[in-house]
Amino acid sequence: MRQDHRRRCDGEARGGGAEVECASSAAEALARVSLLKPHVIVSDIGMPEQDDLTFMRKVRALPP
């Protein structure tokens, strides 16, 4: 996500009581997802390294 969008999403989610983790790349996000096992993922469809569908396929392929 672009930095300004990430800050806005982060602020709104935290304001609602959610725990928030942000990542600056798809690789970093995938590593965090594998460790944290989040209930919800908000992702930018225009990531520079890989598209959102590829990222979500990789998330779904992670072991439970």
6 and 22 Cβ atoms separated by less than 8 Å: yes
Is pLDDT above 70 for 3?
no
pLDDT in tens, 6-22: 666 666 677 777 788 88
Domain of 24 in residue numbering reads as: 3-61
- Give the total number of structural domains in the chain: 1
pLDDT in tens, 19-57: 888 888 899 999 999 999 999 998 888 777 888 899 999
Q: What is the pLDDT of residue 51?
A: 87
Spell out the long-range contacts of 13-17 with Cβ–Cβ below 8 A and sequence spacing 24 or more.
Answer: 13/42
